[in-house]
Amino acid sequence: MQTIRTSKKTRFLSASAAFFLWGGWAFFVNDDGGGDIGATAAITQGVYSFIVTLLMTHCITFLFNRLSTTTARIILPPTITVCTTGCILYFIHHLAGTPSIALTIAPALTVAFLFSLYIVSTLHTTLQHRKNDRLRS
């Protein structure tokens, strides 16, 4: 089986976008107008989102390349990755003292799942093109 990968540029741009989008969201939903709670939540969420986005693409690609059926390749990598990272994210926000954990992480996890489906779709399309190219050769 041929290994399929996502580009470094895609991973970095996605991680950077996640940092700003979800860090900003965390600040917005946790800023009570005073203190550092909003900033702490923003930094916690932004840094976690950056790192996890990089890891998610790697984990999804890793799982995708080890599964043999199309259905498993499409369903399992996003589900396993988002459930695992969601549990870790909840725990980190709990430790950081984020007051609105559910409101902070629910949109990010929803988008993470959609992003995961996009990555799986891209990997699947790349695999199909490679198979078609081999058949033509």
Q: Is residue 13 part of a domain?
A: no
Residue 4 lies in a domain: no
Confidence of residue 32 (pLDDT cuts 50, 70, 90): confident
Domain that holds residue 34: 18-136
The answer as to whether 10 is a domain residue is no
Residue 4 has pLDDT above 70, yes or no: no
Read off the pTM: 0.78
Is the residue at 1 inside a domain?
A: no
pLDDT at 43 over 80: yes
Q: Give the whole-angstrom CA distance, residue 98 versus residue 106.
A: 14
- Quote the number of domains for the chain: 1
In a domain, 124, yes or no: yes
> How many other CB atoms sit within 10 Å of the CB of residue 131?
11
Residue 26 placed within a domain: yes
Mean pLDDT of the 82-99 span: 93
Residue 18 is classified by DSSP as: H
Q: Is 3 part of a structural domain of the chain?
A: no
Q: Is residue 2 part of a domain?
A: no
